[in-house]
Amino acid sequence: MKKIDFKLTAQLFCYSVILLLITGACVQNTKDDDIALVEKVIQWQIENINQVDTFPDTHWTRAALYRGMAEWAEFTQSQPLYEYLYAMGKSNQWDMRPRIYDADDICICQTYFKLFNKYENPEMIEKCIARLDSVMARPMTMSLADAPPGKYNRDRWGWCDALYMAPPVYALVTLHKNDHSYLNYAVSEFKVTTDSLYNKNDQLFYRDLRWVGRMEESGKKLYWGRGNGWVHAGLAFMLQHTPANDPAYQYFLELYTQMSEAILACQDENGSWHTSLMDAESYPEPENSASGFFVYGLAWGVNNGILKDAKYREAAEKGWEALKKYVQPSGKLGYVQPVGHAPFKNLTAEHTHVYGVGAFLLAATEMCKMN
C-alpha cells in the first residue's frame, strides 16, 4: 500500500491549530470549545491515518474523510488543511481507483471539486470528468438483481451507500460544465436504486437487495444505520448541488424530508443512533458514523431553512452533544462501526475509522454554523 507522504506534517497542522485559536480566525458565533475539539480530532486523524486505515489514498473510506475535511477547511478557511488536501490530491495525480462503474471509486472527486473551487486548477477535475464521460457513453442497463449469488450489483448503484458516493459528483460536473446530461444520468440511476431499496412506508433504505424485508432476531425490521446515514447526507449534497428550479430538486427534497422524519424516530434518548436503526435494544452501543451523517443532514436542513420545525434543531443539537462525548482526550473518535454492510454488535470506544471522522467533520461544520 502506498503510504501518505504529504507535505503538511502533523507538527505543522498542530501549529495551525494554535494559530487558529490565537488569531481568532474562526467564524463568528461558533463555540471556541467546539472548534478546539474538532481541530484535535483532525490532528489525531492525520497523525494516525495509516494505523486506522490501510486502504489506498483514493479509497472510499478516505474519500469520506476528505470530504469532511474539505467542508471544515472551507468553513474555517484553514490554509494548512487546504494544503494537506491539496498535497493528497497531487500525490495521487488527481486520479481515482480503476473500477470504471463502481460508485465508490469516484467519491474522491467530491474533494477534488472542493479544491478546484479554491485553486481553479482544471487538472484537479479533468480525470473525473473523463471517467463520467466514459460511464455515460457506455451505460450499464442490467437489473440491480443481475448479480452473482450472494452479491449485489456494483456496475450500477446497487447498494444504498452508492447514493452518497457517486451522484454528488455528477451534480458537481453539471454545475461546472452547465451540461444537464450529467445530472440527468445521476437522477435516472438514483431512481433505479431508490425504487429497489427504499421502503416508502418506513421511509428508510435497505442496504442492498439481499436485505430487503430482512428482520432482526428480535423481530424488528433491519435497517442499517450507516447505510441510511450515507443516503441522508448524500441527499443533502444533492440539494446543495442541484438548482432549485430543476425538477430533480423536488425529487431529492421529498426523499430528504421523508427520511428526516423517520430518522428522528430512531434517535435514542441520549442523542445517538445505532447500527440497527429500529433495534437499539439488540445494539445498545452508539454508532458514530451513522450519528455523524444524521447530525450533518439534519443540521444542514435546519441551517438552510428546509427543516423548519424546532424538533429537527433539537435532534441535531442533541446528536452533536452526544457525538462530542465520544471524542477521547487524544482526539480519537470511538464507537465507529468497522467497514461492513450490516448492523454490527459489540462496538467499543476503541472502534474508529476515517469515514466516521469524515461524518463527524460534516456534522461539526453545520453545527458550528448553527451555533
Domain of 188: which CATH number?
A: 1.50.10.10
Tell me what pLDDT residue 10 has: 43
Distance separating alpha carbons of residues 181 and 185, to the nearest angstrom:
6
> Which long-range contacts link 179-187 to residues 24+ away (Cβ below 8 Å)?
180/246, 181/136, 182/132, 182/136, 183/242, 183/246, 183/248, 185/135, 185/136, 185/139, 187/248, 187/251
Share of the chain above pLDDT 90, in %: 91
Beta-bridge mates of residue 199: 204
Report phi then psi at 205, rounded to 5: -105, 135
Tell me what pLDDT residue 17 has: 47
Greater model confidence, 27 or 356: 356
Task: Transcribe 20-87 into DSSP letters.
Answer: HHHHT-S-TT--HHHHHHHHHHHHHHHHHHHHH--S-TTSHHHHHHHHHHHHHHHHHT-HHHHHHHHH
Q: 132 by DSSP, 3-state: which?
A: helix
Q: 164 by DSSP, 3-state: which?
A: helix
Assess if residue 234 is contained within a domain. yes
* For residues 282-292, average pLDDT: 98
Q: Give the cell for residue 204.
A: 428508510
**Which residue range forms the structural domain that includes residue 59?**
10-370
* For residues 244-269, average pLDDT: 97
Assess if residue 280 is contained within a domain. yes
User: Closest by alpha carbon to 223, among 237, 213, 233, 234?
Assistant: 213
Asked whether residue 1 carries a pLDDT value surpassing 80, the answer given is no
Asked whether residue 21 carries a pLDDT value surpassing 80, the answer given is no
Please report, for residues 130, 132, 168, 364, the alpha-carbon distance to residue 138 in angstroms, rounded to integers and kept in the order given: 13, 10, 20, 39
Q: How many domains does the chain have?
A: 1
What is the residue type of 118? K
Please report, for residues 53, 168, 213, 216, 334, the alpha-carbon distance to residue 283 in angstroms, rounded to integers and kept in the order given: 24, 31, 19, 11, 16
Tell me what pLDDT residue 180 has: 96
Asked whether residue 24 carries a pLDDT value surpassing 80, the answer given is no
Query: Using one digit for the tens of pLDDT, what is the confidence trace for 95-122?
Result: 999 999 999 999 999 999 999 999 999 9
Distance separating alpha carbons of residues 13 and 85, to the nearest angstrom:
12
Q: Give the cell for residue 313.
A: 434543531
Tell me what pLDDT residue 31 has: 78
* For residues 303-324, average pLDDT: 98
Tell me what pLDDT residue 4 has: 55
Assess if residue 3 is contained within a domain. no
Tell me what pLDDT residue 6 has: 55
User: Quick one: DSSP state of residue 199?
Assistant: E
> What pTM was estimated for this model as a whole?
0.92
Assess if residue 2 is contained within a domain. no
Assess if residue 111 is contained within a domain. yes
Share of the chain above pLDDT 70, in %: 92
Asked whether residue 218 carries a pLDDT value surpassing 70, the answer given is yes
Assess if residue 5 is contained within a domain. no
Assess if residue 292 is contained within a domain. yes
Asked whether residue 51 carries a pLDDT value surpassing 90, the answer given is yes
Beta-bridge mates of residue 327: 333
* For residues 227-234, average pLDDT: 98
**Residue pointed to by grid coordinates 484535535:** 40
Give the contacts of 79 (CB within 8 A, at least 6 positions apart). 16
* For residues 179-199, average pLDDT: 98
User: Closest by alpha carbon to 61, among 240, 228, 226?
Assistant: 226
Assess if residue 104 is contained within a domain. yes
Distance separating alpha carbons of residues 211 and 229, to the nearest angstrom:
16
* For residues 38-49, average pLDDT: 98
Tell me what pLDDT residue 20 has: 46
